[in-house]
């Protein structure tokens, strides 16, 4: 039966309701985009829609319905891995389809003083490391926080921050930028949006909200039509991506450590045949894992729940045991989970811990979900438990192979996480999934995470210096393999560190072969536990300071991969000392030398 609310019959309305009820958020976006595509092919359908209908309409129809009237938008993004850039381009597409005149600008090349001329500004910025801006956003961030920053009384803005709730300073750069722009007199169009790792859905809603607010202000949007703008975000980087991973067959697994090592590192070779997936040296691979079955059982036992009780998740109806196994994080305790637990239980002690970053860091270290419920026994039903926990997030690993050397394959170098905490044996989520629970000829869900800011020089003859410790050696295997497949490659120098030379010299035979055939020019190693005096990669850099500086002065590129908290910082300090000593620079000028290397993309880091 038709009425003024919908032109659908009762049967059609019921069918549509049944479909929508079982769609996930991302599926809903896809369906919306699908109908938009149909309407683009048949614009007459949109034209025939009843006046009171909220519709998804074709871009051409939108452009005709909205007159060009003071609808300008600048989208400014600061992105290290490319996620911020991807969201910015999505925002650009949505805005253009809504009739806006759009300027898309990268903070890396943005003249910060021009911010005073922006009328409507959308800032999309990632948080890197311990609440810091990525290098690409550093100059902009520092400028707006400096005394030189202009008043922005004629600017309207909105901020979308990208981050990871498992970190203590979630979206801190977005928080800082939002606060500072307001302090400079700019007017918020909408409140700041903080996006977690799965940023697309939340980001698209924030963009739609912004465009609606600007259209309302311009008086150009039709009051009877709600325009839903969508893009096939799931199609970035090919058909397979974070939202649609490829089931890659495990071709081979090799343990890289010797028998005497108390640690494990594995080399995993995965088949990409038939996937259409492409990558470049420097990219990462995301892997989705399932939880350890024994941990699933321990959670159910601790909360005294029925493993076979039926629950409904985004994937549909399943058992509690299956949902805990496949869908939510159990191996780590993160600030967002602790916050939800403290709020739900009104736990004053936990609220106090959450308010103190240093106490929070100590509390969550090495703990998992069982620890939380053991320390604070609470009765949660299955629905409450699943609502408390965060979705399983993929783990990212630097790819350790070149597509030229291994077509249709990707290799990973994975440090296996196993430890004991207060009498309980624990493991990492994905590393043990790959080492212990996925066998050769079985599959693992994977996708490519592009890393445009960790790339080989365009000219293969450019000298490269590669510094890494432990599994930080992974991308350099890809770099050297790639150059081995190219004609007349330039000089390359690898600095590698680990604890013991006999048991932890990762890919030793391969490096020796590369040195022999001169694909790798030099290799300097530092094994910290082989002698009484510990030696690290930064020490080897200092020992070779004159030659390192000469390579830089002759156009060399400098790379660092590995631990962000310790190794990367120590290497940076060593490099500053080298520039001061060998170049005769004062400290401030040495820092500027480093900044210039980074601006020229000759100093690149992949740290975690």
CATH of the domain at 132: 3.40.50.360
Q: What percent of the chain is predicted at pLDDT more than 70?
A: 85
Is 457 inside a domain boundary? no
Q: Which residue has the tokens 């989520």?
A: 429
pLDDT-based confidence at residue 172 (cuts at 50, 70, 90): very high
Lowest mean pLDDT among 24-33, 266-275, 347-356, 525-534: 24-33
Mean pLDDT of 257-263: 88
* CB-based burial label for 340 (10 Å; 0-12, 13-18, 19+): middle
Q: What average pLDDT is seen over the chain?
A: 87
Eight-state DSSP code of residue 117: G
Same domain? 113 vs 257: no
pLDDT at 232: 39
Which residues are CB-neighbours of 44 under 8 A, at least 6 positions away? Answer: none
pLDDT at 83: 87
Per residue in 181-226, pLDDT tens? 999 999 999 999 999 888 888 999 999 999 999 998 877 654 333 3
Predicted pLDDT of residue 250: 98
In a shared domain, residues 250 and 309: no
User: Looking at the structure, do residues 88 and 194 belong to the same domain, yes or no?
Assistant: yes
Question: What does the pLDDT read at residue 54?
Answer: 36
Lowest mean pLDDT among 106-120, 122-136, 321-335, 436-450: 122-136
> In this structure, is residue 417 part of a structural domain?
yes
pLDDT average, residue stretch 77-96: 91
**Phi and psi angles of residue 287, each rounded to the nearest 5 degrees, phi first:** -125, 130
Among 388, 417, 440, which residue terminates a domain?
Answer: 388
Q: What angle do CA 292, 295, 296 make, to 5 degrees?
A: 90
Q: Same structural domain for residues 90 and 154?
A: yes
Which of the two residues, 37 and 574, has the higher pLDDT score? 574
Domain assignment present for residue 480? The answer is yes
Give yes or no: residues 115 and 260 share one domain: no
- Strand 464-469 and strand 492-498: the pairing is parallel
Question: Which positions ≥6 away from 442 have C-beta within 8 Å?
Answer: 249, 250
Residue 450 has pLDDT above 70, yes or no: yes
Residue 19: predicted pLDDT: 62
Over residues 50-58, the mean pLDDT reads: 37
| Overall average pLDDT of the 59-72 stretch | 49
What is the structure's pLDDT at 200?
85
In a domain, 486, yes or no: yes
Kindly state whether residue 282 falls inside one of the protein's structural domains: yes
Considering only residues 282 and 201, tell me which one the structure prediction assigns the higher pLDDT: 282
Tell me 376's DSSP state: S
Tell me, yes or no, whether 403 and 266 share the same domain. yes
pTM of the full predicted structure? 0.81
Element housing 598 (H / E): helix 587-599
Whether pLDDT at 479 is above 80: yes
Q: Which two tokens stand for residue 236?
A: 């970035």
236 in a structural domain: no
Write down how long the chain is: 608
State the CATH number of the domain containing residue 573: 3.40.50.80
The pLDDT tens digits for 589-602 are: 999 999 999 999 99
Which pLDDT belongs to residue 169? 86
Same domain flag for 438 and 524: no
Neighbours of 2 (CB within 10 A): 12
Q: How far apart are CA 383 and CA 42, in angstroms?
A: 44
Please give the average per-residue pLDDT across 89-97, as a whole number: 94
The verdict on residue 459 lying in a domain is no
Same domain for 86 and 46: no
350 and 499 co-located in one domain: no
Spatial neighbors of 233 by CB under 8 A, at least 6 apart, are 29, 86, 90, 200, 204, 243
- Residue 514's contacts (CB-CB under 8 Å, 6 or more residues apart) are 480, 484, 520
Task: Look up the domain containing 80 and give its range.
Answer: 67-220
- Domain total for the chain? 5
Helix (H) or strand (E) holding 474: helix 474-484
Residue of 498, 476, 450 lying closest to 561 (CA atoms): 476
Assign 51 a pLDDT band (cuts: 50, 70, 90): very low
CA atoms of 288 and 412, how far apart (whole Å): 14
Under 8 Å between Cβ of 564 and 608? yes
Domain boundary among 203, 220, 237: 220
Shared-domain flag, residues 267 and 416: yes
Distance CA 352, CA 202 (A): 29
Predicted confidence at residue 204, as pLDDT, reads 92
Mean pLDDT of 543-562: 97
In CATH, what number is assigned to the domain containing residue 428?
2.40.30.10
**Residue 559 CB neighbour total at 10 angstroms:** 24
Tell me, what's the pLDDT at 63? Answer: 39
CA 463 to chain CA centroid, nearest Å: 29
Tell me, what DSSP letter sits at residue 267?
E
The arithmetic mean of pLDDT across residues 534-538, rounded, is 97
For residue 234, the model assigns a pLDDT of 40
pLDDT of residue 423: 87
Residue 474 and residue 421 in one domain? no
Q: Is 356 within a domain?
A: yes
Instruction: Quote the pLDDT of residue 135.
Output: 85
Q: Are strands 424-427 and 395-398 parallel, antiparallel or unpaired?
A: unpaired
Alpha-carbon gap, residue 286 to 156, rounded angstroms: 37
User: Six-digit token pair at 275?
Assistant: 């996937």
Q: Is the dihedral of CA 457, 461, 462, 468 positive or negative?
A: positive
Q: Within 13 Å of residue 374, how many CA atoms lie on the same side as its CB?
A: 13
As a whole number of angstroms, the distance between CA 312 and CA 112 comes to 49
- pLDDT above 50 for 229: no
User: Do 274 and 301 fall into the same domain?
Assistant: no
Query: Residue 346 maps to which CATH number?
Result: 1.20.990.10
The pLDDT assigned to 481 comes to: 98
Residue 47 has pLDDT above 50, yes or no: no
Closest CA to 73 of 54, 49, 99: 99
């Amino acid at each position: 039966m038709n009425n003024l609310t919908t032109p659908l019959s009762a049967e059609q309305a019921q069918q549509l309701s049944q479909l929508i009820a079982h769609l996930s958020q991302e599926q809903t976006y896809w369906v919306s985009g699908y109908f938009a595509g149909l309407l683009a092919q048949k614009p007459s359908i949109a034209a025939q829609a009843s006046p009171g209908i909220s519709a998804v309409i074709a871009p051409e129809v939108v452009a005709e319905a909205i007159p060009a009237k003071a609808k300008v938008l600048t989208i400014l993004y600061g992105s290290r891995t490319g996620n911020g850039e991807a969201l910015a381009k999505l925002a650009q597409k949505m805005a253009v389809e809504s009739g806006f005149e759009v300027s898309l600008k990268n903070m890396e090349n943005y003249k910060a003083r021009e911010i005073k001329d922006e009328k409507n500004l959308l800032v999309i910025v990632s948080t890197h490391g311990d609440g810091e801006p990525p290098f690409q956003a550093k100059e902009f961030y520092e400028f707006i926080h400096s005394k030189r920053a202009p008043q922005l009384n004629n600017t309207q803005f909105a901020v979308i921050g990208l981050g990871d709730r498992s970190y203590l300073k979630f979206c801190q750069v977005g928080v800082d930028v939002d606060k500072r722009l307001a302090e400079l007199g700019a007017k918020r169009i909408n409140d700041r949006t903080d996006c977690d790792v799965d940023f697309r859905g939340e980001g698209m809603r924030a963009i739609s909200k912004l465009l609606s607010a600007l259209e309302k202000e311009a008086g150009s949007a039709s009051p009877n039509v709600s325009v839903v703008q969508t893009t096939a975000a799931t199609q970035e980087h090919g058909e397979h991506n974070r939202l649609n991973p490829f089931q890659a067959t495990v071709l081979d697994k090799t343990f890289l450590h010797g028998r005497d090592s108390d640690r494990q590192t594995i080399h995993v070779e995965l088949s990409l045949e038939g996937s259409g997936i492409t990558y470049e040296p420097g990219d990462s691979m995301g892997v989705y894992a399932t939880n350890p079955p024994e941990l699933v059982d321990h959670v159910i036992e601790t909360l005294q729940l029925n493993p076979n009780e039926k629950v409904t998740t985004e994937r549909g109806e399943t058992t509690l045991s299956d949902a805990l196994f496949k869908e939510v994080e159990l191996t780590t305790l993160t600030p967002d989970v602790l916050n939800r637990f403290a709020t739900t239980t009104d736990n004053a002690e936990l609220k106090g811990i959450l308010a103190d970053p240093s106490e929070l860091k100590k509390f969550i270290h090495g703990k998992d979900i069982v620890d939380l419920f053991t320390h604070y026994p609470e009765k949660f039903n299955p629905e409450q438990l699943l609502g408390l926990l965060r979705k399983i997030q993929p783990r990212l690993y630097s790819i350790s192979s070149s597509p030229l050397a291994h077509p249709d394959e990707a290799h990973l170098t994975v440090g296996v996480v196993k430890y004991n905490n207060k009498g309980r044996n624990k493991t990492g989520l994905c590393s043990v999934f790959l080492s212990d629970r996925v066998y050769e000829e079985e599959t693992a869900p994977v996708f490519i995470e592009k890393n445009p800011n960790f790339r080989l020089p365009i000219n293969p003859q450019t000298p490269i210096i590669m510094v890494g410790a432990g599994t930080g050696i992974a991308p350099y295997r890809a770099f050297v393999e790639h150059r081995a497949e190219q004609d007349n490659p330039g000089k390359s120098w690898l600095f590698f560190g680990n604890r013991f030379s006999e048991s932890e010299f990762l890919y030793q035979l391969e490096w020796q072969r590369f040195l022999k055939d001169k694909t790798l020019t030099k290799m300097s190693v530092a094994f910290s536990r082989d002698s009484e005096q510990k030696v690290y990669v930064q020490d080897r850099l200092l020992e070779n300071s004159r030659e390192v500086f000469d390579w830089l002065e002759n156009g060399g590129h400098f790379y660092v991969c590995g631990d962000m908290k310790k190794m990367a910082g120590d290497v940076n300090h060593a490099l500053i000392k080298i520039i001061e000593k060998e170049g005769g620079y004062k400290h401030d000028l040495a820092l500027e030398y480093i900044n210039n290397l980074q601006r020229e993309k000759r100093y690149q880091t992949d740290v975690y």
